[in-house]
Structure formats: C-alpha cells, structure tokens
Structure 1
C-alpha cells in the first residue's frame, strides 16, 4: 500500500479553502476532510497550502535547454530531463511540451531539434525517467514550406493530444506591429537595413500567401479521427476568432487584443494567456495585458510559456491583484486546463482524483513550492 497523509494544511478546493487533512492511497485521493489526523506517517504541513498539481498546456521552456548558448545544440534527452526537473519544481505535474513544427527563420533550433526532441520525450516516458506526466503539443507553423512532411510522422503517437494553428508572418497577429517584430528578432542577433527588412517582410508575406491556407486545410484533414484538441494562436480580431471557431478550435491561445478575447468568450472558446504576462504586468510584444482580461472575465487559463515558475506566481497574482478567490485563481492552472485538454482524473483535490498535489507557502506574497507529488509519488 502506498499511503500519503497531509494534515494541518490549507487545502484549496473548488468552492473554498479547507483547513484539514488529505489522504491518498495508491496514487488516488481517498479523503479530504476538515481537521487534523494522528495517522502514523502523516506529514504536518504547518499551515501551508495544498493545491492541485498544475496542468501546463504550452511551454517553450525546453528550447532553452536544447540551445543553452547561441550555436550550441545540447543532446535532446539530457535537455528533456533538465526541463522536466524545472517543471516539477514549479509545481507542474502534467505538462504539454510545445514542439514547433517549422519556423519562418531559415536556420532554427526548432527545425534542427524537432525529431530528436520528440523521440527523447517518448524515451523518457517509456523509461520512467520523467517525474511529471508529459504530453506533446504540436505547434503548426502554417507558413512553413515543409510543414506537412515534418508533421505527418509525429501525429500517430498517443501522447500527441493538442495541435495549435499558428502564423508568425510579420504584419499580423502577434507581429501586427512590424517594429515589434524587428525588435524581437534583434534579440536573436538579427540586424537588417531598411531595405533588407522590407525584403524580409515581403518574402514572409509571399510565403504566407502560398502556404498558409493550403497547410491549414491539410492539418485539419490530418487531425480528423485522431481525437486531437485544436487551438488557435495569437488571434487579433473577431474575424480570426470566427474563422477558428468554424475550424473546430476549442482553445484560444494568447489573444492579442480585448476584441479577440471578447469574441472567443462569445463563441465559448477557452482562453489561455501567458503567466509571464501577468507577472510582468503586460505583454512583451505590446499586446493586451492578461490582468485586463481577468478583470473583464475573459481569462480561463494560464500557461507558463517560457518561465515554468510563472504559472503558480501568475495564479496567485490573479488572487491578489484581480481580486479573484483562491479557488477561482487556482482553477486557471489546474481544473480549467485539465478540462480543456480532456482529462477528468486530475486538476482537483477530491476523492477519486489522481494524487497530483503541490504543497506551497507564500513568502512576502511570492508562492514557494515546497513539495510535489505526482500520482502519489514524491517528485520534489
């Protein structure tokens, strides 16, 4: 028998915060009740919070471990294991590793490492080397000329559950402000003269016209019969959201404007924003602030995007700065993404659910993860 008893804890439930005890057995929560227990081996949580294990649907964190320094490609399996350690330490127990299928830049670590990273994630799963429960999110760059040949071999594994349709062509969506596009890529040591930049935009736009619509139709065809969840990416206006809804999209990833978020809400799409946007107080690309969407009830989920530790931090800021209750704030990083991704066995602390559990406390308002259990097993 594998028993876990946590007592003297502030347990965050769907409808409130209970000071009490949680007991799990063989990886499943059996009991959550008010009061303390003297059961042998029970862990005194000293009044710390107990929250559901976080569910992450879009993290690019792995990329920085694949290329830890410019021009240095790290072996894929060690990179995945390092990423996994950071994920669990951030309280994330279910993670969708976002792999970009294609890139608009000719020389890209995303293109170079795609297949080896995919294989390393599956190898880590099969060997039991990974502590979090890893799944795969394939990000389909619609304007990438070789998208379909790169995507097709990746589609059939059962760990592939989420596809996002994205288009990073300058002049629209995330980069509707061309100067923001230029500024972003200057961080990657790209510098252009005015004529060179105009040529880059022209070539990218022509590439989009040639491939994006064609690839969108092909990706949708490939997804049929595979039980895939579809997400749109960086919608900017109501027309783009309307189009996404017609395609069968159920998740709106990172809408860039209030208009797009309003349209997504109107269509019943589940809206996710970046937790770094919450923590930093706004978008690094000049797009709508996540806290503004929270205050207008247009935010359903958070994603850590490129900073794993931002997920729990962002949820706590929804509580402290947007005035949300603790259960509502925590649902954006547990219950809501679990539901959006088709899981009915995680994301909540109640009997019958997986024992994916995080013990944490706040220090000067900052949430600090102390322990993590994944499926009842101590992982951090």
Structure 2
C-alpha cells in the first residue's frame, strides 16, 4: 500500500472547496454530526492558538506529557513533506492504511457538500483521535481560533494562546486587537488558559474575554516568568523555580515558547522531569534547522545550510535575533514568500543581519510571490538582493561568490516543505 491512495483522496477533497473562503463552523458541525459527533469522545484536550510558536509549543507540551508516561494525540498544520505529519496517534504518526480509511469515510459522509480541505481533514483527525485510546489530545489551531475547524470542543482541559501578531489580515482583521479577539475565541467558560507574552493591545482583549467567561488565566509576566540566564533557562511561578538547560530548538523566542509549554504542563500537574523533557527533547523541522545531508548541502559545501519556515513580521524579528546570536559570519538568505504575506515587514529586521538575499518563487504554489518582486521589496528595505530561477540555482550562485558564512533558506513553510522532501 502506498501514499498514492491517501494523496488521491486528498486531491478529491480539494474539489469540494467552497468558491468563497469564509470562516464558519457550519460545514464542520454538519460533517461531525454525520459521523456521530466524535468531538465529544476525545481524550482531554489542550487547545493551542496564536500567531507564532504554536507548533513549537505543542511539540514541547507533547514531549513533557510523554516524559510523564502519557499517551498523547497531536494535530498540527500545515505539513511539510507528508500529510501524515499532521496527525499523531498516541505518540505515532498515523499510518497510510488508517489515514486512507479515515479520509475515505469522511469523504463519503460529507456526500459531496462544499467543505474546505482544512475542515474535512481536521474532522478526519478528530475521528481518529476519538477512536484511539490516549491520555491527552493536543489540537493546534489552523487559522484564527473563534471560527477555526478545531474549535469544536466544549470543555477542553486547557487553552493556550501563544504570541499574537499581525498576520492573515484578510480573514482575522487589520488590528492587533481584532486578531487577538479571534485567537481568544478558543477560551471556554471556566476553562484555564495559559497566555504567552503579548503586546498590551492583544493582552487586553484576551483578559476581557477570560473575564466574561470566568476562565482563570496564567499570564506571562504576571503568573509565570521565563528567561535565559548564564546559558540556562530559568522558569518561575507560584510552585517555585526551575533551572533547566536551554531549549533544543534554537532562538531566544524558543525560550518564550518553552516558558509557555512549562506553564501549560504545570497547569496539567506535570512533574519537573516532564518540564525538563519539554525543553530538551523536541525536534521541530524548519524552525532554524541545520541541514546536514542532501543535494543542496553538497552544492553549498563548505558553507552551512539552514532552513526556517517563518513568514510574518514577528517571525522575521525572531529570526533576526537568532541569527545575531550565532557565531559571527556572513548570512546569505534565499527567500521565497507567498503574495498574501507582508514581505517588507518580514524582511526589514533581517536586513540588519543578512549580507545578501537571493529571491526565488515557490514551485507549485499558485500564490507565490514572483522572485523579481521579492527582490525589489528586499532592496526597498536596504538589503542587497538578486533573483534566481530556483533554490539550487540560488545556492550555486552564493557558493560561487563566497567560500564562507551560512546560507538560510527562508520565507515560507511551503518552501521549507519542498526542501525537506529532498533532505529528510
């Protein structure tokens, strides 16, 4: 049995997509009802929303819970190389057989009605989680929160809101407060919620929603604190202080994500051992990941090759901070982005730490920004920039012009996924 079977069903599901992309839950509720409402049979749910850091935070929470011996379901999106990455059943990626069966069942139950790809595949994940014994279910929001397809659980064990920033304005609103309102839509009545570091406008909205629903908050800077000190991660809350190794995931922003994960684990009653595992165990692809094998690595040699999938202003700021913390050497960017993103906002902080940029288009993506346009935007924020027809051409171009430094492929998770398919 091969992956072609699930890919074929996923392709059919794309044809069901409504003509207009609208954020509603009606289609999800209809299909869940046709399948017997599996959302009511999930193991205790931890629901995670936010703009940046959702995936890393979820990976850390999962590592901590598993260190305490729990079986954990996890749902994340988008995938990088294979759809199966989205659904982890009791600690293991879903098999091809099970995925094919679930997708076919959901496709049949939907009976040809309009539904988005994300909605029907989210329902398939929920159905899988309801049928497989586990101790916890981690659900990562896809877009927003209030009207996201994952927001169908009446009483989760815990809600988590990672940092909120400007992104997806066409769906979530133009201001930070409007976007925070959508993210805060996952907060449920009297359900505890862990809140990562936020800008004041976002935090005000989240706190107001929690007050309306009587949901107890555990807020960064108020109820818990995290920082890096002398090469260690120091976390403190009303239960005491934890002195831990630095996160296995690179970047100061991962210290903040680790703090959020630890706060969530403490809320769930996890052990100190679990909190340490949350910091040191996770591996999360395309988050400042060093590539060590594959054709592009051979092409770049001896220049280091890195990969990151961040794609908005806050991600650009975090990535610039991470690059500034590495050993000083020239960093050359290969950047491909979608035309729905704030390209200038992403590149502006990177212009302060990168020596040059080679722009590429993302192969196979309808909404890719043309490489020439990305190049012009990079120049407009003060970054020396050229364009290339592909990533291999860009790597070769940089390798011809310099024998040292690092190359960072960045700008989109879709581009990162293309690279990882060839690099494991």
- Relative contact order: is structure 1 or structure 2 higher (C-alpha 8 Å, sep ≥ 6)? 1
TM-score (ref. length: structure 1):
0.30
Higher strand share: 1
TM-score by length of 2: 0.28
